[in-house]
Chain A
Amino acid sequence: GDSVTQMEGPVTLSEEAFLTINCTYTATGYPSLFWYVQYPGEGLQLLLKATKADDKGSNKGFEATYRKETTSFHLEKGSVQVSDSAVYFCALSDPPTGANNLFFGTGTRLTVIP
């Protein structure tokens, strides 16, 4: 069955450090891939997405590339800020349309210290 495996946290970084949060997936079809972010006390927000192989999703300085050959969708940011402190969830939707085939990773808590 489909699944998402996400790097366990927590992750603590100093401001301006480089961030990588690993995410790998298994899927029977051709999923869409997502990163969601949850800031303290809030619901989840879509951070970025990619709908097909080799697509790169990007937003707010974060990037992730849909790698079909390695079944990965790692989240990266070159220079984190304190305001990036949040929980990050990798997710897939397979098939990408037609509901209910949604799988979330367990979340990775990022804390950025000044």
Chain B
Amino acid sequence: EAGVTQSPTHLIKTRGQQATLRCSPISGHTSVYWYQQALGLGLQFLLWYDEGEERNRGNFPPRFSGRQFPNYSSELNVNALELEDSALYLCANQDTLNTGELFFGEGSRLTVL
């Protein structure tokens, strides 16, 4: 069974541009989390989607947004990119039926120049 997959692996943008990152969850998993991991820092919770709805968001400005599609895949959009948006963006599914553990994708590394 395929795990969580993210694309692109790497993305380079310039300030002011927009970035779109994609996540395909494990088959049958409806809950998708997005985290930001800036260099040398821990995970910062960005967004949580479940059953197509945004359930919660972290302490990030509105230019960070996303959506979840009927097949439970998800997009993260970052508008008006700033240099400090450079980070590894991680998508994860949660096992909501048993232990609550997260299954992470490999991440998308966004570099803003």
Contact = CB atoms under 8 A, between A and B. Distances in A.
Main secondary structure of the interface of B (DSSP, over half): strand
Interface residues of B, number: 27
A106 interface: yes
Interface string B86-113: 0010101010111111111111000000
Contacts of A96: 98-100
A99 B106 contact: no
Interface stretch (A19-27, A41-49, A61-69, A74-82): A41-49
Contact of A102 (B97, B102, B103, B105): B102
Interface in A28-66: 32, 34, 36, 42-46, 49, 51
A20 B88 CA distance: 27
Given A99-B94, A100-B55, A104-B42, A43 B106 contact: yes
Interface size class of A (residues with CB under 8 A): 20 to 34
B42 A106 contact: yes
Nearest to A45: B104
Interface of A: 32, 34, 36, 42-46, 49, 51, 89, 91, 93, 95-102, 104-107
12 contacts: A32-B101, A43-B106, A44-B104, A46-B103, A51-B99, A89-B42, A93-B100, A95-B100, A99-B31, A100-B56, A102-B33, A102-B94
Given A97-B97, A99-B31, 17 more contacts: A32-B99, A34-B102, A36-B104, A46-B101, A93-B94, A96-B100, A97-B98, A97-B99, A98-B100, A99-B33, A99-B55, A99-B96, A100-B55, A100-B56, A102-B45, A104-B43, A107-B43
